[in-house]
Structure formats: C-alpha cells, structure tokens
Amino acid sequence: MNKSIWIIAVFLSVLLLSCQGTETRAIEGTNPMTKESAKTKVATFAGGCFWCTEADFEKVPGVLRVISGYTGGKKENPTYEEVSSGWTGHVEAVQVHYDPGRITYEQLLDVFWRHIDPTDTGGQFVDRGSQYRSAVFYHDEEQKRLAEASRDALARSGKFTRPVATEILPLTKFYEAEDYHQDYYAKNPLHYRSYRSGSGRDSFLKKTWGDEKPRSPAPASKTWPKPDEEALKQKLTPLQYQVTRKDGTEPPFRNEYHDNKREGIYVDVVSGEPLFSSLDKYDSGTGWPSFTKPLEPGNVVERPDRSHLMIRTEVRSRHGDSHLGHVFPDGPAPTGLRYCMNSAALRFIPKENLEKEGYGEYLGLFGRKQP
C-alpha cells in the first residue's frame, strides 16, 4: 500500500474510534467560582470523552453553556496531546454553567450518573486510561456534601453489581480545551455520531437505565413553604412548636421515632422537605433518632451553637427553618457523624405511602416500587 494512503487510512480509523482532534491550543482557565453570580452557578464533571459529556449536558433545560477542558493534574496549560498521553494527571472534563432557579446541582448530578459508567476505574467505554476516568470536582463544601450523598445513594440503588468508583475531588484549576473541541458534536455531527455509536456508551446506558427518566430528589420547581407563625401554632402540637420554633429538646426514649425500624423517609414537620432516610438510621443508644447523614444535604443547614456553655453544631431545616437537633463527630462509618434529631421536628413517611404523599421519587431507594 502507498505510504501516504496508509497514513491517511490510519488517521481516519483513529479519528473514528477515539475522542481526539487535530490542532490544539491551550487556554488557561480560571477558578470558575469567580464567575458565578446569583443567577449562574458552575459545576465541573469528568465523564470520559468531553465531546459526549458536553453534548449530554447542553441538552438539559437550565444549563446555560458547557465548556470542555482539562483539570485534576499539575501540568500548567496542558495541550490535548499532553493530556491524552496520560502523564499530566489531568482528565477530560466539562464545566457546566447553569441557572440554579431552573435546575439544581443535585439534578445535574443525576444527569451525570446517567451518562457514564461510574464503576469503571480504567477510563470510560472505548477511551482507556486515567485521563478518561470519571470524577466530580466540587467548588465548595456544599457541592462536596451533595456529590458524596448522591454517589452513596447511587451505590445503594442496586443499579450496578460492581462498586461505584467515581471520585469526588476538590477543583483546583480548570484549563479550557482548544477551540476545535468546543461544541464538537455540533461542528462535526457525522464524526461525532460515528464515534459515539462505536464507543459503546449509548448501548451501556440503554441497558442500565432503559427508558427510566432522571430522578430529581429535590426538583427545582418543588417548593417547601413555611406557614406563618399563627398557622404553625394551629398545626403543631405544643411539643412540636417548642422544639422547632423555640429550639427545644424532647425527652430521650420517650419520643415517637427513636426506635422506629420501618422503611421510609423523615421530612420536616413544618415544611415537608425531605431530610433523612431509614437507610441511614441507626441505634445510637441516646434515646433520640440518629442518622449517619442527611437524605438531602441541601435541605439541612448546620450552625455553631454555643448555648448551655457548650460548643455544638446545630442542625436546622433550610426551608422550614426548624430546629432539628445537633450533629456530633462520634457516629459510625462511613461518615463518622451522628445526626441526633428530635422526633417532634420530624414526620415519618413509610415507603408504601411515598407515592401517595408526593415523594414517589424516593421509592427507588428501597429496592422496588410499591403497588
């Protein structure tokens, strides 16, 4: 075969089977937190080939723009060739700029899980190597908590037989990829479709998720209103009002949920916002219902509490502003935390009533759909 023809053939085959481009130009990214505003937030995800990850997120309502790039390594201003070689420590990643009024960070996490193989430790689909591994890069502690909680819920879901291996890492510096890679799916639709079809990504996602719609634990459109004080006085028992509005504490052991062993979720008695799951409940021996972590970290607020000549961490509900209890660093694995809650601040919804009471999105936590 003529050498030039052979070279062209090799080039075309590589182009069709791997996520790569031709000319590259490194653009140093900045910390995206400096670009956030009240109406725009930024999230960073690594899901293998950034052509695919970018295309998947740009279809999501509430996402304003997606930028392909590199992060996670120490090499400054890396080029595509350097990253794809695997020695820089960087991964292909995307930064998702979104409107938090239309979509939440939790919803973005759910989209992310449904477009990758979170059990793959050696890359993603046809793209092999550490530069294609999956990861969530958090911008702040709240994103970290939400990402870890979302990953743990995925691991419990039973969707995968292998352990969920996606890393949750702090974002350092993000470098925008070369212009050639930005919006690649739109600029080169034929090659993109050919690559994606041959990569095995879509067949894996179809097999894993089928036609199941993304689960949104706390939809952006769902609100948790707090009634006014007069309405609360009518709605709550004297003990519930004393605990939630006056920061009171109920007696240990003589409360409704300390020994409740039924499956279901616990919501704020004031607003109804989801707070904890029976899957994370354990017997701490204290006489109060105790949990290792929140079901929805975004609905929980932690504040310093220096009352009673002690330094503790108070836990309140975000939307209902209810005093729930305190969190202590003496819990069991995997978190080492004990969320010590007042039963009077909670309402328990058993799994068989979740659909009826408007919390059907949580049925998947308990393994099967109730009739």
Active centre residues (catalytic): 49, 340
For 55-90, strand residue ranges (E) read 63-71
The H or E element containing residue 50 is: helix 50-58
DSSP string, 232-297: HHHHS-HHHHHHHHH---PPSSSSSSTT---SEEEEETTT--EEEEGGGEE--SSSS-EESS-SSG
Structure tokens at 23: 């000319």
DSSP readout, 134-186? EEEEESSHHHHHHHHHHHHHHHHTT--SSPP--EEEE----EEPPGGGTTHHH
Q: How far apart are CA 320 and CA 300, in angstroms?
A: 10
Cβ pair 267, 349 in contact under 8 A: yes
d(CA 371, CA 352): 8
Distance CA 232, CA 226 (A): 9
Q: What are the CA-CA distances from residue 331 to residues 262, 278, 282 (Å)? A: 21, 16, 9
User: Could you tell me if residue 45 is left (phi over 0), alpha (psi between -120 and 50 degrees) or otherwise beta?
Assistant: beta
Contact 124, 196 (CB under 8 A): no
**Cβ-based neighbour number of residue 101 at 10 Å:** 13
Hey, is 221 helix, strand or coil?
coil
CA dihedral angle for residue 47, residue 49, residue 50, residue 56, rounded to 10 degrees: -70
Phi first, then psi: what are they for 245, rounded to 5°?
Answer: -100, -25
Given its phi and psi angles, is residue 252 left (phi above 0), alpha (psi -120 to 50 degrees) or beta? beta
Does 334 sit behind a cis peptide bond, omega within 30 degrees of 0 on the bond before it?
Answer: yes
Question: What is the four-CA torsion angle of 351, 355, 361, 365, rounded to 10 degrees?
Answer: 20
